[in-house]
């Protein structure tokens, strides 16, 4: 009798397990709780297990992390996967506050070599970066230790990041590298002005990247372009605090790839150190050009340097200015830019004496400083002026 009961229970448990697995596979939804992930607990292993099953699914899959507070150590998940995957996060996930607990990971959430990935939801990824900012010495030490970024999106194709928030990263919030057709829509970056080296979204060697309807407040560039960035669109973005929207810095390293096709439109920058900026290092080993840069319909609210090309970029005297930058900048337009400048010179174009800028246009620039029209200073460039724009004085 006991043996019969035991067999009956075993069969029932097997059936329940089978039905659970079958239902999960059929629905294509992998809730984190199914893998042992619970609010107020560590979901590292649960997330990795959910990814493994979702990646193996032949039908479109969704990993869900419901509302609640969770902790998670660094995770590194990879494709290729068999079908599209959506990761829907509606809870708050916290990284270890101690940088040493990241165990040398360059990115906290690393997703790579995959197609059709969606990261969505009302969730917050909290990097708990305050302790890291205190030990960051990159403002004085060019060989400083790199701290962990919140996200590394590497070699993804046809993917989207929608609505989620990246908060208080220890380093860059998002690194986009080697991606094609990746869109950020309704994304938010939230960090204080004193958070060092916390670029909102840094893009390198990627094509067709779109940053739309996004709000970025951080301690460094809101958006920055590294070498090899092509066909990048930034539209309807609010930036501040931060260092502005930047191309570069470029030219510091050999074998950099050209940057071309940057379209910044209908953006608002508030209380930032810079507005829209292109920056290259002098004495540079790289000669890769920068071309087709277009900044249009932009509002500046108390921005210290609203429009700037700086080909003598040399922070903290970490370089020599003995030789000019070898990077040619061409086909650049700044149009319909209005608002207030925090300095008298609303436009500063400092181009290279070795390869002067070509094809630069200033059109309808309406910036004021303390109620007076902001001025423009230029060197090694003769911009075309259209509409209302300040004439260049020698820089």
Proportion of the chain above pLDDT 70, given as a percent: 92
Examine the pLDDT at 297 and tell me if it is beyond 80. Answer: yes
Mean pLDDT value across residues 287-307: 97
Q: Tokens representing 386?
A: 């259209």
Report the topology of domain 2-394. Answer: Pectate Lyase C-like (2.160.20)
What's the pLDDT band for 321 if we cut at 50, 70, 90?
A: confident
Q: Please, what is the Cα angle at 56 between 35 and 42, to 5 degrees?
A: 25
Report the pLDDT value the prediction gives residue 395, as an integer from 0 to 100. 83
pLDDT in tens, 238-259: 999 999 999 999 999 999 999 9
Mean pLDDT value across residues 145-163: 96
Examine the pLDDT at 131 and tell me if it is beyond 80. Answer: yes
Report the pLDDT value the prediction gives residue 162, as an integer from 0 to 100. 98
Report the pLDDT value the prediction gives residue 27, as an integer from 0 to 100. 55
Q: Of the ranges 25-39, 62-76, 232-246, 278-292, which one carries the lowest mean pLDDT score?
A: 25-39
**Of the candidates 192, 189, 250, the residue with the CA atom closest to the CA atom of residue 214:** 189
Q: Please, what is the Cα angle at 165 between 160 and 168, to 5 degrees?
A: 130
Mean pLDDT value across residues 286-307: 97
Q: Of the ranges 23-27, 132-136, 184-188, 216-220, which one carries the lowest mean pLDDT score?
A: 23-27
Mean pLDDT value across residues 218-227: 98
Report the pLDDT value the prediction gives residue 107, as an integer from 0 to 100. 98
pLDDT in tens, 156-167: 999 999 999 999
Q: Bigger pLDDT: 284 or 195?
A: 195
Sign of the torsion formed by the C-alpha atoms of 18, 20, 23 and 27: negative
Report the pLDDT value the prediction gives residue 33, as an integer from 0 to 100. 96
Report the pLDDT value the prediction gives residue 114, as an integer from 0 to 100. 98
Examine the pLDDT at 66 and tell me if it is beyond 50. Answer: yes
Examine the pLDDT at 45 and tell me if it is beyond 80. Answer: yes
Mean pLDDT value across residues 249-273: 97
Q: Bigger pLDDT: 204 or 14?
A: 204
Mean pLDDT value across residues 279-304: 96
pLDDT in tens, 68-108: 999 999 999 999 999 999 999 999 999 999 999 999 999 99
Report the pLDDT value the prediction gives residue 7, as an integer from 0 to 100. 44
Encode burial over 68-91: b for 16+ CB neighbours within 10 A, e otherwise: bebbbbbbebebebeebbbbbbbb
Q: What residues contact residue 367 under an 8 Å CB cut-off, 6+ apart?
A: 300, 306, 307, 337, 338, 339, 340, 341, 346, 347, 373, 374, 390
Q: Is 202 a catalytic residue?
A: no
Mean pLDDT value across residues 164-176: 98
Examine the pLDDT at 121 and tell me if it is beyond 50. Answer: yes
Rounded-to-10 torsion of CA 199, 233, 236, 365: 90
Helix, strand, coil distribution of the chain in percent, nearest 5: 15, 45, 40
What's the chain's average pLDDT? 92
Examine the pLDDT at 16 and tell me if it is beyond 90. Answer: no
CB 271 within 8 A of CB 240: yes
What's the pLDDT band for 139 if we cut at 50, 70, 90?
A: low
CB 216 within 8 A of CB 244: no
């Amino acid at each position: 009798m006991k043996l019969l009961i035991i067999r009956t229970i075993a069969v029932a448990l097997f059936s329940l397990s089978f039905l659970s697995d079958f239902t999960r596979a059929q629905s294509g939804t992998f809730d984190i709780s199914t893998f042992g992930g619970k609010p107020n607990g560590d979901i590292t292993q649960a997330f990795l297990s959910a990814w493994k099953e979702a990646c193996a699914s032949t039908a479109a899959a969704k990993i869900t992390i419901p509302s609640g507070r969770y902790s998670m150590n660094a995770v590194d998940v990879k494709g290729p996967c068999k079908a599209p995957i959506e990761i829907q996060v509606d809870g708050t996930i916290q990284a270890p506050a101690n940088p040493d607990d990241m165990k040398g990971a360059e990115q906290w959430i690393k997703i790579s070599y995959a197609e059709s990935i969606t990261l969505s939801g009302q969730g917050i990824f909290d990097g708990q970066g305050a302790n890291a900012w205190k030990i960051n010495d990159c403002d004085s030490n060019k060989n400083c230790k790199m701290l962990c970024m919140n996200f590394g999106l590497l070699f993804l194709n046809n993917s989207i990041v929608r609505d989620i928030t990246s908060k208080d990263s220890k380093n860059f919030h998002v690194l986009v590298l080697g991606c094609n057709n990746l869109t950020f829509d309704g994304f938010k970056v939230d960090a204080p002005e004193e958070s060092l080296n916390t670029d909102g979204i840094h893009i390198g060697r990627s094509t067709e990247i779109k940053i739309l309807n996004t709000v970025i407040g951080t301690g460094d560039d809101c958006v920055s372009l590294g070498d090899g960035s092509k066909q990048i669109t930034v539209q309807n973005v609010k930036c501040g605090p931060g260092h502005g929207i930047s191309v570069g810095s470029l030219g510091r390293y050999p074998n950099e790839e050209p940057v071309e096709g940057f379209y910044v439109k209908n953006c608002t920058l508030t209380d930032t150190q810079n507005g829209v900026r292109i920056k290259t290092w002098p004495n540079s080993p790289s000669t890769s050009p920068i071309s087709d840069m277009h900044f249009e319909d932009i509002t500046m609210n108390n921005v210290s340097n609203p429009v700037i090309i700086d080909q003598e970029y040399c922070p903290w005297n970490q370089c020599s200015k003995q030789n000019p930058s070898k990077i040619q900048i061409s086909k650049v337009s700044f149009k319909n830019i209005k608002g207030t400048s925090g300095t008298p010179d609303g436009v500063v174009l400092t181009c290279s004496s070795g390869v002067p800028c070509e094809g630069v246009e200033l059109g309808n620039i309406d910036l004021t400083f303390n109620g007076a029209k902001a001025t423009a200073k230029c060197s090694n460039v003769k911009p075309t002026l259209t509409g209302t724009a300040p004439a260049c004085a020698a820089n």
